[in-house]
Structure 1
Amino acid sequence: MKLLVWAGLLVYFCIQSSATAVSQSPTDVVCIAIAHAISSASEVFYPGDPLYNKGIYHVAISSTQHSKCVVEAGTPADVGKILVILGRTRTPFAVKGGGHITNIGFSSTLGVHISLYRFSEVKYNPVSQTVNVGSGLIWDDVYAALEPLGVNVVGARATGIGVAGFTLGGGYSYKTNQYGLAVDNVLAFQLVKPNGQVVQVSQASDPELFFGLKGGQNNFGVVTEFTLKTFPQTQVWGGVIEYPGTAVDAITAATVAFQNNVTDPKATIITAYTYIPTLETDLKLIIGLAIFYDAPVPPAGLFDAFLAVPATLKDVSTRNYLSLVQAAPTNFTQPTRVAYNLLPNLSFTSGVGALVLNETLAVGQLLTNKTLAVLSYAFEIFLPNIYSHNSYKTAFPPERAVPFQPFNILMEWTSSEFDTDYHETAVATQARLIKGQIALGQTGVANVPYYPNYAIAGTPLEKIYGANLPALMALKKRVDPSNVMGLAGGWKF
């Protein structure tokens, strides 16, 4: 043990003295070097320690990897020391906030795992009407801290979602109709650059880097804090409703009418077709609805078409914002394997509804014998002007003139034997639905950017970042010339 400690110290001192002194190093020795470099505000954990397990935990077991060690960094300066050591030893690593990404290796690693858990402060400034939010928090924590103050932010719509990945990928919210995406409401980032330097990035300090961080994920360093706009928050109305599969025509028609006729920015819905093979019905189908109005009571008649349909479950009421968010859980039952993908979509029509319904039933039947637990296709209905709430250019979305909708495809199964099958099916179902939408006349879906927080691993970067990609690649070379962040997973420029 003493020999390992001295070896770690030797690696550390060599790193400190020369950028080229260590080109390759066993990862366990790098963990020791990190442990000796960081302050008492941070800590390193190893397999067998419960805090190691907490560090590598992801909501989907298929996204979890067993790293050599977990580093819970407690200060931006310590994050800087860690990045310098990892960069100079060329050690693979991961950075994890909430752990909701479903692509393996995006926030997990076999190398060194950096947990942002200790960046957990919520600091409200009533004068500027802003809040500083630590990148290790989940949105539930933020909502709970802000509720007594009567303010809120543009954050996630479901429980357990991490602040960091959600925001750095774009971030659609129940408040997006009114205020845009999460990235549209970030005023500054506290960033630890790959060279270890800690900086505040804003439009005034570095407009190019500010642009890149707004949707560019972890390409430019590690964000430890976000400065966000806040908005007044009353109680809200809404929740979740589940309908039997036989109600699909009625809910599809209500969803089409809602999209075509409702212009109130305080109102939004998500309609999901969900196939569950264990259901004791012929269709094996339920229709899920998340319903939201940003006031204690919605205008009369606004949601009547949905409320009139007999439901099997209804949890809709006037409540605080956190209660509404926690009505829609996304922490899957372990051990569960999960894949996300997306469908580029311009609008929800009856034809698109029929197309997706047929796909839901066909794919559900195809996967039933491959340990399928849940298959879901979810339409997220927003107003067409949601991309107008920003005066600055952002990495994502690269296109703000096209009023596209986010659309999530979710597959949940239990056996690792079928991981490849589910990945291939997620890609294939997306391709079929794109082709089907084009056949229905939505030719513009070919130009819709892919939401990075839903896109499946292997998606071409051009599909996500479009015409922004050359600028983002150039920015990456400026900020990270040694490609330290390339040692971590994710969408890499």
Structure 2
Amino acid sequence: MNKYVWNTHPSGLACHQALPPSLSMLFLAAATVTNLILTPSALAGIPRASTPLYSRSYLDVCQQIESTVSNASDVYFPGQVHYAQGIKHYMVTNTQLSACVVEPGTAEDVGKILTIIGSTRTPFAVKGGGHGSNPGSSSTEGVQITMTRFSEVTYDADAQTATIGTGLVWDDVYETLVPQGVNVVGGRVTGVGVAGFTLGGGYSWLTNQHGLTVDNVVSFELVKPDGSVVTVTDSSDADLFWALKGGMNNYVGHRHEIYSQDVPSRSSLGGLLTYTAGKLDDVAAATAKFAAEVTDPKAALITTANFVLGQPGVSQLLFYDGPNPPAGIFDDFLAIPSFTKDVDTRDFVSLVQAPPSDIQANQRGIFNVVPVANLSVNVINALFNESKFWGERLQLKSGSFISYDIEPFLPSILSHNTSPSSWPPTREKTYYPQNIYFSWTAELADDVFFDAARQSAAQVTRVALQDGQEGVDTAAPYPNYAIFDTPLELLYGDNLPRMREVKGRVDPDNVMSLAGGFKI
């Protein structure tokens, strides 16, 4: 099995809170992980051009897998009940008709599957939550492996760790751990998968207090491309452990478990506000003030400038790790007349599920990212302006949702690591990821939206440079937001040669090149 380990800590309910200094969080790291330890309308709307007929040779490989794996695993073919769910992704742009869907039930079966795939050189993909946007990053015309059966969440109170299966989304994890008074540093909104989120770095509501998700990983249990099952820690294989923390799906065939240290879970204040077009300037000013003045590590927010149904607006998420935030932290936002308001004391599950979920599911979509050194007034205004500029234009091209996430963090967030990681390539300066998310319906418009996401990121970067923010044009983008053609040299910088050395050692036959995503 593949596992990640996270540490946990008893307490009340909380979204993401500080760990005691003696605790650290462990997260997910390898290509095929089935569990973590931490402190069918799927075919609807899939365009024909995105779903070519699968190859006869791929079907032969599927049948070979079916005859080789144990009864703990299953193989599904087109037309069977579980096939549609197996290939389904949040965004249609990352959904393909595969020759078959394989649901492994044991790490040993994962090893058998990888051995067959590697020997036949068959394209494959591994899907955890299926929330990524880049085409082909977790989908394939060949063998679609879905980690659904790796769905364990257990808490070890003595070790203060949680074991988390990589077939889960973070909602599942919180629903198990929070009633036990513990939590882990995971995703901030509903529906995000454990596996990909962790392998790409991981920004959490608790990042101000505990760092990135990869900073809290203490071990990975995984299946290597040669089919062997290993547990990777900083002491057992420091180079591979380092490479896995941010290296995405380049090093192992499957992840199945993550082990991570825990954090306390207690009642928090948070939720969602929405604002209409007339309040945009007020929200932008409140966001700039928060980014400049609030230093309490328990406080966090995401201001999302949207263009939807022909109108600009804002979705405002607030979070404080505790039921009683100090006066003044969110007052500016709460004083602005809102269209809707759902901010209250709540547990972490309720907080993560406060925003509407799956509104843009089963549409086409793409993420892109702008790293900035400072969320200045000029940069924030630029992000708001971009949402209106592109919203007005892209709605004419079937654009249904044009969104810019403004995400302030403290400059100390990269200081919480207890061991090095392959991403970010440097921790000497902190850059903050601002997410661009476009959603649309017409397949013929794909390149229009991809190019618009690139142009928009470039424009915000120009504004940041004009604002005196040195290095933003060469800063490493956040892998989980980065668009598919982002250069590896930009993502990983001077770490890339070492990452390639590790890759050559653990995957000498280059099996992982048969899967999509950013390839080392």
TM over 0.5, shorter chain: yes
Query: Which amino acid letter does the alignment assign opposite residue 402 of structure 1?
Result: K
Alignment of 1:401-420 (within 5 A): 401-420=428-447
Give the CA deviation at 1:349: 1.1
Give the CA deviation at 1:297: 2.0
Query: Which amino acid letter does the alignment assign opposite residue 258 of structure 2?
Result: F
Alignment of 1:63-462 (within 5 A): 63-221=94-252, 222-276=254-308, 278-279=309-310, 284-462=311-489
In the alignment of these two chains, the number of paired residues is 465
TM-score (norm 1): 0.93
Contact in 1 for aligned 2:380/2:406 (Cα 8 Å): no
Give the CA deviation at 1:175: 0.5
Contact in 1 for aligned 2:342/2:354 (Cα 8 Å): yes
Contact in 2 for aligned 1:59/1:332 (Cα 8 Å): no
Give the CA deviation at 1:358: 2.3
CA distance in 2 between partners of 1:236 and 1:106 (Å): 35
Higher mean alpha-carbon deviation, 444-453 vs 113-122, is at: 444-453
Query: Which amino acid letter does the alignment assign opposite residue 230 of structure 2?
Result: V
| Structure of larger gyration radius | 1
Query: Which amino acid letter does the alignment assign opposite residue 51 of structure 1?
Result: H
CA distance in 2 between partners of 1:93 and 1:87 (Å): 10
Query: Which amino acid letter does the alignment assign opposite residue 274 of structure 2?
Result: E
User: What do the CA deviations read for 1:439-463 (whole angstroms, capped 9, x no partner)?
Assistant: 2211221232100100011110111
**Aligned residue in 2 for 1:28:** 59
Query: Which amino acid letter does the alignment assign opposite residue 99 of structure 1?
Result: G
Contact in 2 for aligned 1:189/1:201 (Cα 8 Å): yes
Contact in 2 for aligned 1:67/1:113 (Cα 8 Å): yes
Q: Indicate whether 1:54 and 2:85 are aligned.
A: yes
What's the secondary structure of 1:344's corresponding residue? strand
Structure 1 residues 182 and 115 mapped into 2: Cα distance closer, same or farther (>3 Å)? same
Give the CA deviation at 1:133: 0.5
Query: Which amino acid letter does the alignment assign opposite residue 97 of structure 2?
Result: H
What's the secondary structure of 2:60's corresponding residue? helix
Give the CA deviation at 1:126: 0.6
Give the CA deviation at 1:330: 4.7
Query: Which amino acid letter does the alignment assign opposite residue 154 of structure 1?
Result: V
CA distance in 2 between partners of 1:219 and 1:357 (Å): 36
Structure 1 residues 330 and 345 mapped into 2: Cα distance closer, same or farther (>3 Å)? farther
Give the CA deviation at 1:318: 0.5
User: What do the CA deviations read for 1:340-384 (whole angstroms, capped 9, x no partner)?
Assistant: 000111111111122222222221122121011110111111111
Give the CA deviation at 1:334: 4.3
**Aligned residue in 1 for 2:493:** 466
CA distance in 2 between partners of 1:318 and 1:463 (Å): 41
Higher mean alpha-carbon deviation, 383-392 vs 357-366, is at: 357-366
Higher mean alpha-carbon deviation, 409-418 vs 24-33, is at: 24-33
Contact in 2 for aligned 1:168/1:214 (Cα 8 Å): yes
CA distance in 1 between partners of 2:328 and 2:383 (Å): 28
Q: Indicate whether 1:479 and 2:511 are aligned.
A: no
Give the CA deviation at 1:430: 1.1
**Aligned residue in 1 for 2:28:** none
CA distance in 2 between partners of 1:50 and 1:294 (Å): 42
TM-score (norm 2): 0.88
Q: What is the RMSD of the two structures over their aligned residues, measured on CA atoms?
A: 1.2
Give the CA deviation at 1:396: 1.1
Query: Which amino acid letter does the alignment assign opposite residue 480 of structure 1?
Result: D
Contact in 1 for aligned 2:90/2:362 (Cα 8 Å): no
What's the secondary structure of 1:445's corresponding residue? coil
What's the secondary structure of 2:208's corresponding residue? helix
CA distance in 1 between partners of 2:277 and 2:377 (Å): 16
Contact in 1 for aligned 2:378/2:463 (Cα 8 Å): no
Q: Could you list the structure 1 runs, at least 4 aligned residues long, displaced by more than 4 angstroms after superposition.
A: none
Query: Which amino acid letter does the alignment assign opposite residue 146 of structure 2?
Result: S
User: What do the CA deviations read for 1:191-234 (whole angstroms, capped 9, x no partner)?
Assistant: 10000000000011100000011111111111110001101110
User: What do the CA deviations read for 1:220-255 (whole angstroms, capped 9, x no partner)?
Assistant: 111110001101110111011111122122111111
Query: Which amino acid letter does the alignment assign opposite residue 61 of structure 2?
Result: V
Give the CA deviation at 1:25: 8.1
Query: Which amino acid letter does the alignment assign opposite residue 152 of structure 2?
Result: E
CA distance in 2 between partners of 1:44 and 1:103 (Å): 25
Could you list the runs of 5+ residues in structure 1 that have no partner in the other structure?
Answer: 1-23
Query: Which amino acid letter does the alignment assign opposite residue 301 of structure 1?
Result: G
Higher mean alpha-carbon deviation, 81-90 vs 400-409, is at: 400-409
CA distance in 1 between partners of 2:327 and 2:295 (Å): 14
Structure that is richer in helix per residue: 1
